[in-house]
Amino acid sequence: MTNMSDVEFVVRTIAQTAVDNEKYFGDLDAVVGDGDFGYSLARGFEIVLKDWDSYDRTDISTFLSKVAITITGRIGGTSGPIWGTAFLRAAAVAKGKTDITGDDAVAMLRSAITGIMARGNAELGDKTLLDALAPLTDAIEAELIAGTTTSEIVSAAAEAARAAAEATTPMIARRGRASYTGERSIGSPDAGAVAVAVILEAIASNWDSRGGPR
């Protein structure tokens, strides 16, 4: 069971990781894209961190919805709508909840994936963040079925995200600005997928020291 404190930890880690890796994510994007991914993500999540204490925490859904509004309005380019949609879709699944189960978390991620697909007109294999997000969700679901601990589930998700992000390297980008480069997009991993992996690794490495119940 995950509570509001855990959700806050995850969202804050996402935001801080985006800010801390601005140059890295931007450099990755510059290989085949326009290089603004790191900058856009960092500027939006900077606002999330700045406004952190002002967000309504009535329940998990309300909190995530407020964060989503900030992301959508403050992150430039295509990233704002994509990441904002992910948070809004997750929030809808958590409506009225102050605690979420592992199954809830999987449902939230599945809904976020569906939302991103619709918003970005993207599919798995198009060399986007979906190619890391879907495998990590599958890993979480598999670990839940196996009955492992939450810490082990988070670690498995991070490992799956990293492997999946690296697996985007030989793909041809079919969505976003990177798709304009055609075969030149082969040979470097997708910046969005790598960002998902780096975020999951940050969550996993700090999970046991996050505070609150385990």
Residue 23 lies in a domain: yes
Query: What's 37's domain CATH number?
Result: 1.25.40.340
Considering its fold, how many domains does the chain have in total?
Answer: 1
Residue 14 lies in a domain: yes
Q: What is the pLDDT of residue 126?
A: 86
**Amino acid at residue number 67:** V
- pTM value is 0.91
Q: How far apart are the first and last CA of the chain?
A: 9
Residue 178 lies in a domain: yes
Residue 152 lies in a domain: yes
d(CA 208, CA 153): 12
Residue 214 lies in a domain: no
Residue 60 lies in a domain: yes
Q: What is the pLDDT of residues 173-192, one digit of tens each?
A: 755 554 444 455 576 899 99
State the residue range of the domain holding 158.
2-209
Mean pLDDT, 10 residues at a time, over the chain (214 residues)? 91 98 93 82 95 96 96 84 95 95 97 94 90 98 96 97 94 58 66 96 96 51
Residue 48 lies in a domain: yes
Residue 184 lies in a domain: yes
Q: What is the pLDDT of residue 171?
A: 84
* Beta-bridge partner residues of 2: 100
